[in-house]
């Protein structure tokens, strides 16, 4: 089974509208042919303008979070309907920064996953352990629990549409990348876990990204591993040339 690689930028809380547009114009002008799927997950304020700049290009658009309800008294939140209206293709769900600073749990991840799928938005579900958990030998248990909770109640057909991003928290923004062997080992474990939950067919087709200090210099050694089907790139996705170099690894 050949899985199409998916290279996604996660801009986090960076870039004004003008800066985002400038990036998008530059990326479009330097990006040649690629067999990979490419997308940028931008702050809400930039989604409409990026949609316009990227239209007619291969670059797809993602959000970084969403609420699970369509509408309601949830001050400060954005719903899947609102994202769909803009034409968002993907949404990051359960990023470790959301879990850490905004009290997201496996239960909210599960609700958001279901809501995204119901609206035709492809979820990128983030999982990963913190350093203390890795040091204590708990990394695999932690990731299994996140997967089981996040996927609860989904059908195999829905699970296939979910992109899973393995992001060890200790490798995010630290410059300390997981070794390709550590990343591959966990991504293989994730596939095995998906197989246990939904069967081998789903496990073979589901795409699993690695995220955490991915840069042009280390992209190839990570992205050529059997079970790593893409990258979720933070810092290096803010610079168009670096992001392109990762896409062209």
Nearer to ligand 13P, 96 or 202 (CB): 96
Structure-token match 């939904």, residue found: 198
Q: In whole angstroms, how far apart are CA 144 and each of 85, 155, 174, 186?
A: 34, 18, 24, 10
DSSP SS3 for 178: coil
Nearer to ligand 13P, 173 or 199 (CB): 173
Of 120, 157, 173, 199, which one interacts with ligand 13P (CB under 6 A)?
A: 173
Encoded one letter per residue, x for contact with ligand 13P by CB under 6 A and - for no contact, window 203-242 reads: --------xxxx-----------------xxxxx------
Q: Which of 37, 104, 158, 167 is catalytic?
A: 167
Structure-token match 């409409």, residue found: 48
Q: What element of type H or E holds 40?
A: strand 37-41
Q: What element of type H or E holds 59?
A: strand 59-63
Name which of 97, 100, 92, 102 is nearest 165 in CA terms. 92
Q: C-beta of 45: minimal distance to ligand 13P in Å?
A: 19
Which one of 31-39, 108-116, 166-174, 198-206 is the stretch in contact with ligand 13P (CB under 6 A)? 166-174
Active-site annotation holds for 155: no
Is residue 125 close enough to count as binding ligand 13P by CB under 6 A? no
Cβ-contact 208, 228 below 8 angstroms: yes
Is residue 128 close enough to count as binding ligand 13P by CB under 6 A? no
User: Which positions are annotated as active-site residues?
Assistant: 95, 167
Interface residues with ligand 13P (CB under 6 A)? Answer: 10, 95, 167, 172-173, 211-214, 232-236
């Amino acid at each position: 089974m050949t899985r199409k690689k998916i290279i996604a930028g996660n801009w986090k809380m960076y870039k004004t509208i003008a800066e985002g547009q400038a990036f998008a114009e530059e990326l479009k002008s330097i990006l040649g042919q690629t067999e990979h799927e490419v997308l940028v997950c931008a702050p809400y304020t930039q989604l409409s303008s990026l949609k316009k700049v990227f239209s007619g290009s291969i670059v797809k658009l993602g959000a970084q979070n969403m609420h699970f309800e369509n509408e309601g008294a949830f001050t400060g939140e954005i719903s899947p309907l609102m994202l769909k209206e803009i034409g968002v293709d993907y949404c990051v769900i359960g990023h470790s920064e959301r879990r850490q600073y905004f009290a997201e749990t496996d239960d909210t991840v599960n609700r958001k996953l279901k809501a995204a799928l119901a609206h035709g938005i492809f979820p990128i579900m983030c999982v990963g352990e913190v350093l203390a958990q890795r040091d204590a030998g708990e990394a695999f248990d932690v990731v299994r629990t996140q997967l089981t909770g996040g996927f609860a109640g989904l059908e195999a057909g829905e699970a296939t549409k979910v992109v899973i991003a393995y992001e060890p928290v200790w490798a995010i923004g630290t410059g300390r990348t997981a070794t390709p062997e550590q990343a591959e080992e966990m991504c293989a474990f994730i596939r095995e876990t998906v197989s246990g939950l939904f069967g081998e067919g789903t496990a073979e087709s589901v795409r699993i990204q690695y995220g955490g200090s991915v840069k042009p210099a280390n992209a190839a050694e990570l992205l050529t591993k059997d079970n790593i089907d893409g990258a979720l790139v933070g810092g290096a996705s803010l610079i168009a040339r670096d992001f392109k170099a990762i896409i062209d690894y």
